[in-house]
Structure 1
């Protein structure tokens, strides 16, 4: 980010702080109206008990919860729950042993694609969310097949951004929220400013955020150049986010809205470890210090929405419709100077992009049929998509047939442009029995998808181009049955069976990477969608003072998509054309993941509180009798805190067991030792500055060296210590509400 841009954002922050102060002064005449704002997930009055009501398998985190745990970006999400993990390598959330595009992420009801080019390391999607824009975060464990379609095998992360109504509480016409923080883990600072205004029944929100930082620290201690390096490569990044919303309320429970959002992340990385051989050797690939990589992550969306909260004899009790356009772009631009043939400038500008246009509509109606109350929830979820991939660049090869350049694939595409269509129709009926103490909810969803490769000139430049692959299309019915029983006051027992599915991605269907005389990695247009049968039983009990939950689950997956080695005959290519091997996406027959989760909390009357949780999972390919590397180790959390009206402090211990059950038991690369971490946080809300909150935390107090097992790739030449987590770090943040 240029100095001009930085000065612009700092100026915006200063103006925002000044305006916030002026707004606060304007309200000073009414002391009751200067109380600190408690952000609430307000959409339409009463909606939390209807369309968006969490299920028994859902944990809801509000903006206040995120603030208390200092979860202000995706890296911190593991602090919320021991069963939720973020994978730095794949940029995805892991729930119950599944990650990548097997966990669905949504923002304001719109799917966030998880992209992967399958060859050049361009992948991700969930990190294109600015957590300072969030009002609530729902964690849905397991598949909720009747409400969510493709990709919800492991669970769902449902994000809701701030609405202007969240700031304009108690009848105010103006509201402001200013946030700022510093995190030593990557030496980053951020500023975020939100304004909301109201004119009669028209509400407006404008929010902007900026973050700048460096590489995320680790515990590696080997520097210098070459593949033996374990210290993180030096990096600098800039992140921008803009969010605009306008809502028009109309008598009768109607609300119309428009949203525009843009997220940009640019990270410049000095790749000191980039070499196939030691940098000081005669066969070194690049001139030391010349290899740079720029990662770009960009998400844009425009959406219009309609929300309705009916009353009386309306034909619908509640409804919500959103029409949207969204584009997600992931890019990696690498450049260096080669000192082996072809000597000279080297560049690879790899880009993967998905554009979606879609609709998400849901309605709710409660009716009396006989002696029972039926609450029907039904809707449609459909979108058209276009996926593009390209690899541009330069090198000094002597023509396309130079055998010494067989590994340098450039100015081509690894797959054609793919147009797609996806449609989901769903319905569920919550039947209330025995005065509502027993609720039985059957549900059914139908999903259909189609992928159509298009003529793509860059794809025809691919040295392994053998014509365009066939279209891919399939459909699936996914039923669900859930039962909930109020066994006693504040005690709910539940059981659920649900099926779910995941459609193959464009990469898995159509990727072609490699060249004659070397290797080949190809997609498979005949892939079947992944399917699952999931079983959950558990209990939720208590209230805000004392409560908890317990769940046990067992999930069976069929046609699990994986990338494996195949023969030339299986790949349909001439023998000997790819002597270094051929890999292809295939369907694995059977995979099983089972486990258990438990949480509890207790708040004493004198200001003390305690909480804890534990998560355990086991996953195997039951045909091959091998464990899955996507399964995290057993993890437990225990916390103790004390709070008054103006200040508080929390102490937390996290214990993680060793992970030894991995796909390749003869290798220690994916195995990780157990560890215990200690964190302490504190906050202060001074009485003389209403709405001000200052918070700080020290993490990994004893500077423990440890690994998040999910960050370690299945294989690689990078030393294992490169994937260690940061040592002792601290974070400080300030929030001012008016």
Structure 2
């Protein structure tokens, strides 16, 4: 992994420069700005905040940067713990989990561009949707459930829309300069990092440069057994470095036009001393592993707002982009040889050499380029008010997977070696080959919906429909042909289309209260890994894709209410979703025959799955300076034909918080609770319930002595105050035993401190 750090180093040279620029610009900033007592960033005021987003859905909950910073949220785990009980993050697969669905069934976008969740055929390199820095965000929008007429494939569970900072977020009205610096220490992973953003404007030209750097170690757990081997429950020692760089340029033109250019780079490189994974097969102290995620994005944008509403559209956004995401999972070890090793050359069976080099670099990358866009127009037709929204996307993708490495296995045909002779790992593993073909994909989607307002705008009926089409075309490569399981008849193209309607009724019962009901059909195309993976070798086992998979669909029903008053707000939703052709892992052939160790596993469509539940959220500002808030989510998911529970469904969770804030200081305390998860199938983990308390405080003085420190903010938090041992149910892999479960426990008592300064 270190060599890759050197290769990427030139990309991040600007990060340190950006941070230094932000820190050393204090004197200039004080001359260029006027009084400012807040460190919270203002939203865009000169143009639409939607910038590349589809118009807000009534099911969308927006969390602005101010709340993200106030709750000290630095990753999805924090978001799930301190903001929204209906959002979870699976640390094992590195994916967002909403309403019991995760991985490729929850769509994540950044500035309107899809962030793919990737996994290689070995389940080695996984993730990608967390390839960004929370300190680079302006807001996070969460839409739960499929809003079919807006987002398209991959949204069965929901959508996470990330918006990065714009120069308009930093530069206040009437000023030409803005900057923000922040330093954070987190004891959970002993990480320290800095972040800086600087923005300037000249007439109608705006520029932002933001960069971040963080360095840390392994995330704590509450295991107490050390040493080597599978009995270890302490976290494996680790070191990581995370870097990001964001550059944005906006140019405004007369008539409500804005053109933009964006460069967005992210890299996280983590190395482990795999002490728990070190068994009798590897030399103690000689088993290192690593994970790296690298993302690059370059895009051009166009945003328009009609100055007087007389144009063909009231507002529009278009984004043209190129993006490449690459995941690597590496192993660097000294492997001990099974004593019953085969001696080539007819020497028979004898004790093999004592050890040998074993290295792997399992990689998957996806390159995409395309265009997305949407627009809105309000019209009155026949005395009835309409608000039309329409848009679409067209993009191309190329997916490539490769496993490189060296090892000390004898170069023999393992199908000719009788069981149980020979190292079993040599029968299974192969390197310097691809476990799937390269796949070229084309995806197109288009939608239209209309808010029809009746009865003095108290009743809104919203019909909508989306059309999606995709085509995956596998290409055989020399690397794939080197795979022991290569089969040319396996390379079949896969394409399909879907039509997804939606119908929503909303009744404005009072100016504060809205009641709604919605039906939406969802759609998900199978991934290229599900279609074309072909990992394994004769004499061991095989994991294969299924080129004949059908698309998943869902029929979702929701009813709910939203109340937004002066002192309090409440929302409640009841949902019931039915899924068809649900793609799941199945056993194709049991162990035996050509694959004696593990048989053959693959993918197939399950006929029926049902997920239903309840979600509640609210806030009450019950006294000057005081507020309380809460979030509640309960979900149940089962295979409707077998009755088996879905192990990806989180147990009932709730968050309750209490806060006090004045102009220069404030404090918050929150209680996060989860019920026992006892409804699992097979070897699913039965997580015990828990309750954990988090406490935080902030201080934003105007002066310290005679020194003017306006814009300074100091935050500190103690999390899991009572050092409770607990498990995040969705992050614990199936098959985890009682003896090993502490390895997957969450951190005990930790603290976090940050110092920020806005200029």
TM-score normalized with structure 1 length = 0.94
Range with greater deviation from structure 2 (536-545 or 703-712): 536-545
- Pick the aligned partner of 1:315 from 312, 322, 325: 312
SS of the aligned residue for 2:630 comes to: strand
Q: Residues 120 and 350 of structure 1 are in contact (CA less than 8 Å); yes or no, is this contact kept in structure 2?
A: no
1:346 counterpart = 2:358: yes
Q: CA deviation at 1:127?
A: 1.5
Q: Return closer, same or farther for 1:167/1:646 CA change in 2, 3 Å cut-off.
A: same
Which residue matches 1:449?
Answer: 470
Q: CA deviation at 1:545?
A: 2.4
Range with greater deviation from structure 2 (402-411 or 193-202): 402-411
1:582 counterpart = 2:595: no
Cα distance between partner residues in 2 of 1:407 and 1:193: 48
Cα distance between partner residues in 1 of 2:433 and 2:48: 53
Range with greater deviation from structure 2 (305-314 or 395-404): 395-404
Q: Residues 223 and 231 of structure 1 are in contact (CA less than 8 Å); yes or no, is this contact kept in structure 2?
A: yes
Q: Residues 377 and 387 of structure 2 are in contact (CA less than 8 Å); yes or no, is this contact kept in structure 1?
A: yes
1:66 counterpart = 2:68: yes
Cα distance between partner residues in 2 of 1:360 and 1:44: 22
Q: Return closer, same or farther for 1:339/1:577 CA change in 2, 3 Å cut-off.
A: closer
Q: Return closer, same or farther for 1:172/1:400 CA change in 2, 3 Å cut-off.
A: farther
Which residue matches 1:281?
Answer: none
Q: Residues 491 and 540 of structure 1 are in contact (CA less than 8 Å); yes or no, is this contact kept in structure 2?
A: yes
- Pick the aligned partner of 1:136 from 139, 145, 162: 139
Range with greater deviation from structure 2 (355-364 or 544-553): 544-553
1:605 counterpart = 2:623: yes
1:632 counterpart = 2:650: yes
Cα distance between partner residues in 2 of 1:173 and 1:661: 57
SS of the aligned residue for 2:28 comes to: helix
Q: CA deviation at 1:355?
A: 0.4
Q: Residues 44 and 309 of structure 1 are in contact (CA less than 8 Å); yes or no, is this contact kept in structure 2?
A: no
1:424-573 pair list within 5 angstroms? 424-467=445-488, 468-543=490-565, 545-567=567-589
Which residue matches 1:382?
Answer: 394
1:697 counterpart = 2:703: no
Q: CA deviation at 1:501?
A: 0.9
Q: CA deviation at 1:400?
A: 4.7
Cα distance between partner residues in 1 of 2:746 and 2:364: 28
Which residue matches 1:675?
Answer: 690
Cα distance between partner residues in 2 of 1:457 and 1:50: 40
1:735 counterpart = 2:756: yes
- 1:438-460 superposed Cα distances (whole Å, 9 cap, x missing partner): 11110000000110111211111
- 1:591-644 superposed Cα distances (whole Å, 9 cap, x missing partner): 000000111211133211111121100000111110000110111111111111
Cα distance between partner residues in 1 of 2:109 and 2:141: 10
Cα distance between partner residues in 2 of 1:152 and 1:528: 16
RMSD of aligned residue pairs (Cα, Å): 2.1
- 1:120-162 superposed Cα distances (whole Å, 9 cap, x missing partner): 4211012101111100100101111111011000100001000
Which residue matches 1:285?
Answer: 281
Q: Return closer, same or farther for 1:202/1:586 CA change in 2, 3 Å cut-off.
A: same
Q: Return closer, same or farther for 1:94/1:44 CA change in 2, 3 Å cut-off.
A: farther
Q: CA deviation at 1:434?
A: 1.4
Q: CA deviation at 1:720?
A: 1.3
Q: CA deviation at 1:37?
A: 5.2
Cα distance between partner residues in 1 of 2:402 and 2:516: 48
Range with greater deviation from structure 2 (398-407 or 559-568): 398-407
Q: CA deviation at 1:273?
A: 1.4
- Pick the aligned partner of 1:256 from 247, 259, 263: 259
Q: CA deviation at 1:21?
A: 3.7
Cα distance between partner residues in 2 of 1:285 and 1:51: 51
- Pick the aligned partner of 1:332 from 320, 329, 342: 329
Q: Residues 54 and 60 of structure 1 are in contact (CA less than 8 Å); yes or no, is this contact kept in structure 2?
A: no
Cα distance between partner residues in 1 of 2:374 and 2:144: 21
Q: Residues 40 and 135 of structure 1 are in contact (CA less than 8 Å); yes or no, is this contact kept in structure 2?
A: no
Q: Residues 51 and 377 of structure 1 are in contact (CA less than 8 Å); yes or no, is this contact kept in structure 2?
A: no
Between the two proteins, the alignment pairs up a number of residues equal to 720
- 1:442-489 superposed Cα distances (whole Å, 9 cap, x missing partner): 000000011011121111111111214200011000000111111012
Q: CA deviation at 1:346?
A: 0.3
Q: Residues 518 and 579 of structure 1 are in contact (CA less than 8 Å); yes or no, is this contact kept in structure 2?
A: yes
Cα distance between partner residues in 1 of 2:48 and 2:120: 43
TM-score normalized with structure 2 length = 0.92
Cα distance between partner residues in 2 of 1:576 and 1:53: 54
Structure 1: gaps spanning 5 or more residues: 278-283
1:244 counterpart = 2:247: yes
Which residue matches 1:202?
Answer: 205
Q: Residues 50 and 318 of structure 1 are in contact (CA less than 8 Å); yes or no, is this contact kept in structure 2?
A: no
Cα distance between partner residues in 2 of 1:66 and 1:329: 27
